[in-house]
Amino acid sequence: MGYIFFLGTDHEKINLYFPEMHDPSMEIIRVKWMPLHIPLKKPFKIALGTTTNYSGYILKICTARVCGYGEAVPSPKITGDTMESIEKAFRIFKPLLLGEEAHKIGWIMNKIYRAIPNNTAAKAAVDMALYDLVGSYWRVRVSDILGGEKEKVDTSVTIGITSIEDAVKQAIELTNLGARVLKVKIGLNPDEDIKRIKEIRNVTDARIRIDANQGYSLNQAIRVLKSIEKYNIEFAEQPLPKDRIDDLKTLRESVGVPIIADESVHNAKDVLKLIGKVDGINIKLMKSGGIYEALKMASIAKAAEMKIMVGCMVETKLGIAAGQNFALGIGADYADLDGYMDITRQPFIGLEFKDGGNIVEGERGLGVECRNISIC
């Protein structure tokens, strides 16, 4: 039970009794998950390594009336998650979720955050599933729940580390398919990287972003960025190792290309450390542990007048839809949400690339539907 207090017109305090509100239709009664392994169309190479398959988990959380889906994708070199750690985390989270009211997302996520350290991909899956469930129950898109600041945002489409000839070919193909923004992976060979950017710029007027994935030393980064400034580079993402925060500031002050932090920023506390040292941050739900923590990151970044990009790992359309809803909800400046494009089989439908950006087709929750996997 509880009381609400307010002042009447005669300035006299009035006490009103009201019962505690409990909605049994929002009580979580079932939690399930399954692993997925899907080949990629081609190997995806970055400075941190090469990926040939998608591996992740799909999580399903249900009340008596509606279900929500979330995705967990491990990235051992970035978040420390593995398929094994995600499975263990879900086993710990399940009893913490059962019996809770799904719409109390903050309460639930704080329980999840405290239960075990790290394991942000597994936490992100819980968070996504809760938002999807609540949005579906309320018959509203998650992007609108989060603020509905934008209706569309262009996404970059990534060119992995490959030969210069193949990178140029991909740039032409992607722009012909409607890409307005290209993200070019670099970070292994500075001289070759400079030439790669030059040759890509020669064949396209698309916006170009570069991402070194921590591949350079400070001196290498300064040399490369100074050499490619003339090619109208939108920004450079994480040129230096993640713990070289002060060097990021030195780099920012030494070149004309804006600097965006990625691996250096996982949560709200990391954003605070980066104020004044980079131009913006890349928020990935797999790093933050989901939308609930990501909202705090975005609030700090906006207050500090930092740019916000919403990015992704190699994810299915489910994880990408969560990132898209978050990006539109908070009005992100940039998006890099192409992680589903090279997966050979799509277990979710309802998200398509069109006119330079992703379009979420559904009107409820995250806006995508589970198809052709057993957990559906």
Q: Which residues are catalytic?
A: 185, 284
Distance between CA atoms of 215 and 251, rounded to whole angstroms?
A: 14
| Burial (0-12, 13-18, 19+ Cβ within 10 Å), 52 | exposed
Q: Decide if 326 contacts 316 (C-beta within 8 A).
A: no
State the DSSP code for 199: H
Q: Give the position of tokens 């239960």.
A: 115
Say which residues have a Cβ less than 8 Å from residue 106's Cβ, sequence separation at least 6. 292
Rounded to the nearest 10 degrees, how much is the dihedral formed by the CA atoms of 144, 149, 152, 154? Answer: -130
Rounded to the nearest 10 degrees, how much is the dihedral formed by the CA atoms of 44, 71, 337, 151? Answer: 170
- Give CA angle at 13 (11, 19), nearest 5°: 140
Please report, for residues 46, 81, 137, 219, 371, the alpha-carbon distance to residue 215 in angstroms, rounded to integers and kept in the order given: 9, 21, 45, 12, 38
Q: What is the DSSP string of 79-146?
A: T---HHHHHHHHHHHHHHHTTSBTT-HHHHHHHHHHHSSS-HHHHHHHHHHHHHHHHHHHTSBHHHHT
* CA 254 centroid distance within chain: 29
Distance between CA atoms of 123 and 371, rounded to whole angstroms?
A: 23
3-state class (DSSP) for residue 233: strand
Beta strands 67-72 and 348-349 are: unpaired
Q: Decide if 262 contacts 288 (C-beta within 8 A).
A: no
Distance between CA atoms of 259 and 277, rounded to whole angstroms?
A: 9
- Give the length of the chain: 376
Distance between CA atoms of 284 and 124, rounded to whole angstroms?
A: 10
